[in-house]
Structure formats: C-alpha cells, structure tokens
Amino acid sequence: MEDYKELLLDSEKTKALVRVVAHLMGDGCVTNKYFSYYNKNDTLLNGFEKDLIFLFGNIHLIKGKVNSGTRFIMVQNKPIHTFLKSLLADYRSFALYMPKFIDRRELYVEFLRTIYDDEGCAALRLYKKTNEIKRSITLSSNSKRLLEEIKVILENEFAIKSNKLGRYDRRRESKVYTNYVLTITAKSNIEKFRDTIGFSHPAKVEKLDRMIKSYIRLAATK
C-alpha cells in the first residue's frame, strides 16, 4: 500500500491536499466506501479533479449528475479513502473541526478560500427600512467548533475581525437542525479578506469586487 503521508512533505502537494479535504468538508461526502464532491461550478469541480490527479495520479474518477442538476466527482479507492480519514476522522457536517495538519499561514489561506468557495457568501444588499447598503461575507456550518476555530485564525493570522457567531434553528418534521454563521463586516475587514484569502468561485469573486467598489462609489458621492 502506498504511503500517502509522504505528500505532507511536499509544500505544493500539501496545499492541494488541503483543498481536497476542505472541499470534502464543504460540499463533499465521505462514506465508508467512497468520497465525492458536488458542485455546479466548473471552476471548483475542475480544480478538485486537478488536485486529485496531482496528488494520486491516474486514479479512476466516477463523474455524474444528481436529479437537481448538480454534478459530482466520486472516488472509490480504499487506500486514498483511509488516508483522507486519517487527516480528519469525521467529515459529517456537525462534527467538523480544523484538521491538525493545517497548521501554518499558507495552508490556512488554501483552506479558508476553499471552504468559503463552498459554504461562504458575499452579500451586497439594500436594507429598505433605513435605505442603507449592507455588506458582509458569511460562512455557514453545522459545526460551531469549526467556525470558532476559523474565527480565531482570521483574527490571529490575517487581522480580520468577525462578528459573534449567529445561530439559526430550523425544524424539519420532528427534528431541529442548528446552523451557525460567521459574519465579516466593515470595509477594512472585507478588503483584508479579498487581499489575503479571496474566492476562486467566479461569481463570488465578482460579488466581492462589487461590494468593495460600492464603498468607493459611496465615498465619491459624499
């Protein structure tokens, strides 16, 4: 069996591995038999595939589409599956936490950009009651622990301050599902996010740019 732990000795391959793990934590699924990544965006899907091939060579990729139209890339490979589980024991949304091998700034950048690509949102909207423009970058997760860890990393490593975690409970049939939201506001924090982390998702890149340009337009009218 190949020792995939050697990948962690190569800087570029470690970055690719961070992206793969982050995608599986975001819009991915890891069962006892396979792992898969779901998305409608070509940039993110192609990036995931490219990273897999870079890391593991010419492995068999199963590609398809679910009923909603979302496409997926699936891998059924026990050695790779075992290796990925050694990096994060539980990929279920409520159990997520920062993997220990992601332990320095350059890896934090790859992780944060990837998880924000999947689970983040750049929001620019008009608040009608006060006629104010509201701007924010949000990240949602079922794992409070993960968002708390990300909040600390944002502030300690990138000097990006975020708001207190929000909590939203949703009831579906007889069960209650809790979702947490980490929000970044204020021009200085949003600009730091763009300059140090940013998005790969094209639509989110455009939205973030428009958000920052709206500050400039507002200042010009004063």
Using one digit for the tens of pLDDT, what is the confidence trace for 24-67? 999 999 999 999 999 999 999 999 999 999 999 999 999 999 99
Which pLDDT does position 134 carry in this prediction?
Answer: 85
CATH topology match: 4-91 vs 113-221: yes
Residue 221: pLDDT above 70?
A: no
Class of domain 4-91: alpha beta
Using one digit for the tens of pLDDT, what is the confidence trace for 58-114? 999 999 999 999 999 999 999 999 999 999 999 999 999 999 999 999 999 999 999
Which pLDDT does position 125 carry in this prediction?
Answer: 78
CA angle centred on 103, ends 102 and 106, rounded to 5°: 80
**Distant-in-sequence, close-in-space partners of 126: CB < 8 Å, separation ≥ 6:** 132, 133, 134
- 3-state SS, residue 9: helix
Question: How many Cα atoms are found within 13 Å in the side-chain-facing hemisphere of 50?
Answer: 10
Cα 198 from Cα 110, distance rounded (Å):
10
Specify the CATH number of the domain 113-221.
3.10.28.10
Using one digit for the tens of pLDDT, what is the confidence trace for 135-191? 999 999 999 999 999 999 999 999 999 999 999 988 877 788 899 999 999 999 999
Domains of the chain, residue spans: 4-91, 113-221
Cα 79 from Cα 60, distance rounded (Å):
13
Q: Please report which helix (H) or strand (E) contains residue 136, including its range.
A: strand 132-141
Cα 66 from Cα 72, distance rounded (Å):
8
